[in-house]
Structure 1
Amino acid sequence: MHCLTLALLLAAAPLALAHPPGEDGPHAHEHDAPAAAPDTVFTTRPNHGQQVVPPKEEGMFQFVIFGDRTGGEPEGIEVLKQAVQETNLLDPDLVMTVGDLIQGYNQTPEWMIQMKEYRGVMSGLNMPWFPVAGNHDVYWRGPGDPPPGEHEPQYEKHFGPLWYSFEHKDCGFLVLYSDEGDPVTGEKTFSKGSAQTMSPEQLAFVRQSLEQLKHCKHVFAFLHHPRWIGAGYTDGNWDEVHETLVAVGNVRAVFAGHIHRVRYEGVKDGIAYHALATTGGHLSGDAPVLGYVHHMHVVTVRDPDVPATAENHAGMTVAMLPVGAVADPRQYTPERLALLDAVRRVQLKRKSAPLTFGEEAVSGEYVATFANPTDTPIDVEIAPRGVEAGWRFAPDHRHATVAPGETAEFAFSYALRDDRLPESVPELVLNADVIDGDARVSLPTRTLPMDVALGGLSETFFTDAPDRGVQLDGGSAVRVADDAFRLPADGPFTLEFAYTPDAASLKGGRGLIAKTQQSEYAFFLNDGVPQFDVHLTAPGAGAGRYVTAVSPLKLEAGKTYRLAGVYDGSEVRLYLDGMPVAAVPGEGKRTLNDLPLYLGGDPGRDGELTRPVAGVLNDVRLSKTARYSEQYDPSAAPLTTDADTVLLLPLDRRVGPFFPGQGTDGVVGRAVGDVRFAE
């Protein structure tokens, strides 16, 4: 049973100050003392190596401190409720506050409603809690003159004394009142030092309490206004209070609130000064790193002679715990995890035509659907993203609660703000909250690309296009689907392109242009050395094999090369800047696959991009003929299409994610990752 001994400057009978759950009486919170720990752990294994030593036994307990509740939206009471639930999971010995428990600044009837609401929430705690009075709790506002003491009489009747102290586990807790007001005028304000002065009556109580608590290992003090920070408190008498606290020698920390921002003033004369932010009150933004956060302080108390650390102050450590950071592990059942995973896997399905890119004005309506696969409602919000790239959407977001087993539609009109060719694919930002009884489980935000298609292009699309190519960053490429082109399996072919390597791609193995996976053809770059591979199956040879032509020369970073690979039915050849540099005999049919062709990488077994290269890629042409048999001049004429051209991708024009093929209908490359034009 908690031993709570009040030292009150009141002649009345002792009050039941600690507020137990449901206001029904004291809370049993006993913990049996552990048996003496042995010197070593018990094990049935040989214990001749590293020794595992049990922890040292010592007295220790924890208490939690809540910040201000007031000044925010009425929904802030939900933050307080969550803090109560999470505190019960932490199971400290007790909970302290630092004032501003209710909104106040009102008259008695409204004050009573707010008091009951706050106490009702706090009654959910499984341990006692202790009030501290703040300005919102005692300031009265209404027509006419305020009553004597404003709301002080109601506060003491329904919360407890304005100042008091008690002991727990050989530690003292000292609660102070920082809104006594101006001793001459009676004005209550926190903007004048004269009204932020501790009265002789309360100072006398402090001295008496500290005398009663001088045998304690630690004493902790609590008040609402952090009078030590200066500003409007400058003309008060906090220096005198501080010296009084210092004199006893065992006051370790003072905690306050009011400023709605976490602030640590450091240790002065052995006393650590802390100011808390809020536990449901108003915040100037949600920025924990700046101290604007709904939170609670968790204070761990040990003997004052424990070895000092950077975090430990005379046997006391303080941790700030944001509300929402504590969870009950019992909620992560297999059934609940399966439900949440099912929602995470939901893909938006397109009901309308895809967003179509082209030279004409781009506009239309895009309709996506979300199907709820669970037996619980899901709140869904979908917002298009792409305004910064020139897209306009209406509305800017849509919201729906999707019933179990139902499907909701989300429709958006779209258009480009001008006539420029779009280079980005707009996306849909999906947020989903699973409604689990009275709780909401917010799943991680997902960003999903809209389905897009390439519309018709005129013959002049490539006219006057700058010769620039694409810059690949070692994680991007251009993907050409297998069904977009056909290269006969039993005939000659030529693959040629221009490439400027980055230094990073001259180390290790990289895919330049590839469609391989124990089949087809590819250009690879191994430690800067290019090679051309063709997978051939000779007549009667059974399984096929790669025939590989390897350059004797290594590429240099920043230099542009024209590479060509030729298979003429009897030989695989590699050309570098028009010079034949390698030739290997080989014959047979090319082994086929249905994997994509990657410009700037190599397909994996499932068609994913692997071993991407960095550098500038330009003017890729695949032909169903052996175009070169001897030395040639690659600069003599630009690459063009003819009857033997299977694909020609200049890579100097794009529409959205698409890189259209020139003169080869239906052959289109699509960007994978961050593909940009070379500068």
Structure 2
Amino acid sequence: MRNPIGRFAVSLMLAGLVACTPVSENVQSASGENIEQPPVLRIAIIGDRTGGHRPDVFEDALHKIHNMQPDLVLSVGDLVEGYIKDEKELARQWNEVEAELQKFGSRFHAVPGNHDYSNAVMARIWRERRGPAYWSLVKDDVLILGLSTEDPPIPLPQSAMEGHVRLQQAMARDPVGTQKRILEATRGTEKGAKPGEVSISSEQVSYFRKVLADNASPRWTFILMHKPAWAYESAEFQELEALLADRPYTVIAGHEHYYDYAARNGRDYLTLGTTGGVWLKDGPGKVDHFLWVAVGEGEPTFSNIEIDGIFDRKGG
């Protein structure tokens, strides 16, 4: 797979993405009439932060995204390390993350990841802080479905929880060395979905069936989720795909900590890399980035922007 992100290209295109993107535009038809074009909707989508996050990457990304002034900022989940029931520690983790997210206000929306929503305590805290586990919104005639792949929560085995704690401790002591050892241990492994399962309730399918019926012809539909449900052979997700079959749409997920692209049902299915999360395998998809989507007339454009490729007027 080719590297999805070019640093040089990023620095050249930022002015066009940010400063020169019109809110709306009038063009003339052949008869001289003014035809109003739909507004350009600019969306930044961030990848996984956790699994033993690397210091300062997430914060740097959010600062740079804020400077680019998107209309919406979306997250594929795994915002906190989680996998615990200690409410005091969970509050500390969420306070740390939300202090960075507050700059986006109501423009920010997230779906829960397995780290955010792995037991009843974390599910309750998510609802208190972030609202429903699954949701939908329409902005500028663009429909976004926030799908939960953790509905209901999937408990992690005790051994895996203990391993996650050890990984966090190792990353806190020596993030560079620990990350290097992880990549050395996984070198040569075949790319594929991480182990586990996807959980999508029948109530969630019914909710999205109604949302799609109520929004039959938006100019585009995006499906945001944490785990790439198509890689887990989820029957519930396949039912949702059937409901989407007659409309243009794009599916965007995370969880794998590795950028990947798939064409499925004639549509684009994107799995984001990390926005500060630990890297689990080497290769061209091992990258800290965010996805910049511009929805104007016709099909959306997608630009993967490497965080280190963005710098301000003072230089890199």
Q: TM-score, normalised by structure 1?
A: 0.35
Aligned-partner SS, 1:137: coil
Query: Aligned partners of 2:309, 2:278: CA distance in 1, in Å?
Result: 19
Query: Aligned partners of 2:110, 2:265: CA distance in 1, in Å?
Result: 27
Query: Aligned partners of 1:152, 1:180: CA distance in 2, in Å?
Result: 9
C-alpha displacement at 1:35, in angstroms? 6.1
Equivalent pair of 1:89/1:328 in contact (CA under 8 Å)? no
Is 1:176 the equivalent of 2:165?
Answer: no
Equivalent pair of 1:87/1:125 in contact (CA under 8 Å)? no
Equivalent pair of 2:74/2:109 in contact (CA under 8 Å)? yes
Aligned-partner SS, 2:276: coil
C-alpha displacement at 1:61, in angstroms? 2.3
Aligned-partner SS, 2:249: strand
Query: Aligned partners of 1:320, 1:116: CA distance in 2, in Å?
Result: 28
Residue matched to 2:308: 324
Map residues 367-446 of structure 1 onto 2, 5 A cutoff: none
User: Any stretches of 5+ residues in structure 2 without a counterpart?
Assistant: 1-21, 31-35, 158-193
The 1:265–1:71 alpha-carbon spacing in structure 2 relative to 1, beyond 3 Å, is same
Residue matched to 2:45: 65
Equivalent pair of 1:91/1:127 in contact (CA under 8 Å)? no
- C-alpha distance after superposition, 1:408-453 (max 9, x if no partner): xxxxxxxxxxxxxxxxxxxxxxxxxxxxxxxxx6xxxxxxxxxxxx
Find the partner of 1:255 among 245, 252, 255: 252
Equivalent pair of 2:221/2:249 in contact (CA under 8 Å)? yes
The 1:177–1:58 alpha-carbon spacing in structure 2 relative to 1, beyond 3 Å, is closer
Residue matched to 2:169: none
C-alpha displacement at 1:127, in angstroms? 7.0
**In proportion to residue count, which structure has more strand?**
1
Is 1:105 the equivalent of 2:83?
Answer: yes
Q: Which amino acid counterpart does residue 222 of structure 1 have in structure 2?
A: L
Equivalent pair of 1:265/1:272 in contact (CA under 8 Å)? yes
Identity of aligned residues (%): 26
Is 1:238 the equivalent of 2:237?
Answer: yes
The 1:127–1:327 alpha-carbon spacing in structure 2 relative to 1, beyond 3 Å, is farther
Map residues 525-536 of structure 1 onto 2, 5 A cutoff: none
- C-alpha distance after superposition, 1:14-56 (max 9, x if no partner): xxxxxxxxxxxxxxxxx765565799xxxxxxxxxxxxxxxx9
C-alpha displacement at 1:250, in angstroms? 2.4
Find the partner of 1:115 among 94, 112, 115: 94
Query: Aligned partners of 1:157, 1:127: CA distance in 2, in Å?
Result: 16
The 1:99–1:204 alpha-carbon spacing in structure 2 relative to 1, beyond 3 Å, is same
Q: Which amino acid counterpart does residue 40 of structure 2 have in structure 1?
A: M
Map residues 107-186 of structure 1 onto 2, 5 A cutoff: 107=85, 108-125=87-104, 128-140=107-119, 149-181=120-152
Is 1:205 the equivalent of 2:204?
Answer: no
- C-alpha distance after superposition, 1:222-254 (max 9, x if no partner): 11010112xxx23654322221222xx224111
The 1:36–1:242 alpha-carbon spacing in structure 2 relative to 1, beyond 3 Å, is closer
Residue matched to 2:286: 292
Query: Aligned partners of 1:71, 1:198: CA distance in 2, in Å?
Result: 22
C-alpha displacement at 1:167, in angstroms? 0.5
The 1:235–1:212 alpha-carbon spacing in structure 2 relative to 1, beyond 3 Å, is closer
Aligned-partner SS, 2:103: coil
C-alpha displacement at 1:169, in angstroms? 0.4
Aligned-partner SS, 1:123: helix
The 1:319–1:34 alpha-carbon spacing in structure 2 relative to 1, beyond 3 Å, is closer
- C-alpha distance after superposition, 1:560-603 (max 9, x if no partner): xxxxxxxxxxxxxxxxxxxxxxxxxxxxxxxxxxxxxxxxxxxx
Query: Aligned partners of 2:146, 2:118: CA distance in 1, in Å?
Result: 19
Residue matched to 1:587: none
Is 1:89 the equivalent of 2:67?
Answer: yes
Query: Aligned partners of 1:244, 1:35: CA distance in 2, in Å?
Result: 34
C-alpha displacement at 1:188, in angstroms? 6.2
The 1:58–1:74 alpha-carbon spacing in structure 2 relative to 1, beyond 3 Å, is closer
The 1:281–1:32 alpha-carbon spacing in structure 2 relative to 1, beyond 3 Å, is closer
Query: Aligned partners of 1:265, 1:135: CA distance in 2, in Å?
Result: 22
Query: Aligned partners of 2:242, 2:29: CA distance in 1, in Å?
Result: 45
What is the aligned-residue RMSD (CA, Å)? 2.7
Aligned-partner SS, 1:242: helix
Aligned length: 253
User: Any stretches of 5+ residues in structure 1 without a counterpart?
Assistant: 1-30, 40-55, 141-148, 305-314, 333-440, 442-679
The 1:192–1:68 alpha-carbon spacing in structure 2 relative to 1, beyond 3 Å, is closer
Aligned-partner SS, 1:80: helix
C-alpha displacement at 1:218, in angstroms? 0.8
Equivalent pair of 1:72/1:283 in contact (CA under 8 Å)? no
Query: Aligned partners of 1:290, 1:207: CA distance in 2, in Å?
Result: 37
The 1:300–1:179 alpha-carbon spacing in structure 2 relative to 1, beyond 3 Å, is same
Which has the larger Rg? 1
Aligned-partner SS, 1:63: strand
C-alpha displacement at 1:295, in angstroms? 0.5
Equivalent pair of 1:192/1:235 in contact (CA under 8 Å)? no
C-alpha displacement at 1:139, in angstroms? 1.5
The 1:33–1:59 alpha-carbon spacing in structure 2 relative to 1, beyond 3 Å, is closer
Equivalent pair of 2:24/2:40 in contact (CA under 8 Å)? no
Equivalent pair of 1:197/1:238 in contact (CA under 8 Å)? no
Q: Which amino acid counterpart does residue 276 of structure 2 have in structure 1?
A: G
Query: Aligned partners of 2:59, 2:208: CA distance in 1, in Å?
Result: 33
More relative contact order, 1 or 2 (CA 8 Å, 6+ apart): 2
Is 1:271 the equivalent of 2:242?
Answer: no
